[in-house]
């Protein structure tokens, strides 16, 4: 009997007591940038993956689930999205999905870490698929919060695609009430923000629930939802927030019609039936969200496990 091949292992820590192990074929790229540790790994189960500060960000095999879930509910809920702003989005897959919308005329992506974006351009072409070369797209390497504070420009959609708020990481001030107030000021009349909100695991709902309550402190309409992204190891939460439009008012048929009308190419994860299901959160999540009173603020941030 042949001995199984011995692989190097990457352990994605989901909490101090839980993790998801990935067998590694090759470490393609590894560097400590000014802001974070970036690694691009070839894994046996999920293909090529982006890892930031030891946390799985996206994998070749299932990144379409995460990025379609993050982008399309907001884009299709808006009546006619033209101008889009991305906070983060290093690997270019969020940009890729936005550019599939025929109504879009301009996308500005602001990522603080140029080295992450450049490494993704080189080593993750299967994720960005040339999106950085689209004439509608512009990338700037700046602090997104500072940029939004200094501009008067407004956007139809703002998508926040950043890593989790670890204490020494670059993202924790992009999860606070003050930041969400700034975002709301930069949205147009029908504007919507979309963001990833951490795991919806029964063992670790604090981050998801606190983000929900923080958004509710700012926006009239907050619509939390979830999707299963297998490479993350746990179910994952998202949220839309807006001044008045609500994705939960759209039925299966309307979503499918908007997809057919607005989007180029075939979606692999998201459609009308998926839309309907993902906003119907299980009872234990709804109860925890209602009980949670934590509001995340600049001087009272919430850090997730490294």
| Dist. CA 140–CA 23, nearest whole Å | 34
* DSSP string for residues in 50-107: EEETTEEEEETTTHHHHHHHHHHHHHHHSSS--EEEEEE-TTSHHHHHHTTBTT--EE
Q: Are 158 and 191 in contact (CB under 8 A)?
A: yes
- For the annotated catalytic residues, the residue numbers are 161
Q: How many CB atoms lie within 10 A of CB 92?
A: 26
| Dist. CA 144–CA 244, nearest whole Å | 24
| Dist. CA 238–CA 66, nearest whole Å | 9
CB within 8 A of 3, min separation 6: which ones? none
Burial class (CB in 10 A: 0-12, 13-18, 19+), 269: middle
| Dist. CA 265–CA 191, nearest whole Å | 25
Report which of 96, 90, 94 is spatially closest to residue 129, judged by C-alpha positions.
96
């Amino acid at each position: 009997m042949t001995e199984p091949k011995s692989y190097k292992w990457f352990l994605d820590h989901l909490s101090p007591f839980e993790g998801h192990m990935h067998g590694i074929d090759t470490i393609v790229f590894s560097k400590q940038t000014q802001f974070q540790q970036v690694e691009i790994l070839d894994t046996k189960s999920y293909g090529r993956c982006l890892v930031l500060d030891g946390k799985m960000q996206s994998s070749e095999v299932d990144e379409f689930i995460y990025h379609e879930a993050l982008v399309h509910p907001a884009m299709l809920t808006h009546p006619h999205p033209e101008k889009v702003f991305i906070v983060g989005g290093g690997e270019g897959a969020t940009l890729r999905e936005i550019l599939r919308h025929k109504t879009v005329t301009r996308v500005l992506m602001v990522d603080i870490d140029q080295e992450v974006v450049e490494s993704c351009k080189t080593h993750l072409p299967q994720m960005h698929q040339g999106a950085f070369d689209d004439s509608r797209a512009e990338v700037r390497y700046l602090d997104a919060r500072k940029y939004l504070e200094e501009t008067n420009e407004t956007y139809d959609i703002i998508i926040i695609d950043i890593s989790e708020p670890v204490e020494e990481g670059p993202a924790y001030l992009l999860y606070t009430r003050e930041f969400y107030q700034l975002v709301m000021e930069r949205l147009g009349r029908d504007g919507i923000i979309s963001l990833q909100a951490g795991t919806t695991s029964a063992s670790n709902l604090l981050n998801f629930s606190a983000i929900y309550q923080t958004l509710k402190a700012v926006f009239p309409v907050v619509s939390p939802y979830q999707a299963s992204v297998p490479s993350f190891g746990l179910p994952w939460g998202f949220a839309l927030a807006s001044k008045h439009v609500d994705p939960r008012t759209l039925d299966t048929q309307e979503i499918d019609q908007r997809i057919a009308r607005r989007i180029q190419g075939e979606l692999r994860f998201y459609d009308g039936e998926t839309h309907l299901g993902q906003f119907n959160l299980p009872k234990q999540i709804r109860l925890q969200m209602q009980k949670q009173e934590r509001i995340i603020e600049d001087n009272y941030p919430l850090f997730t496990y490294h």
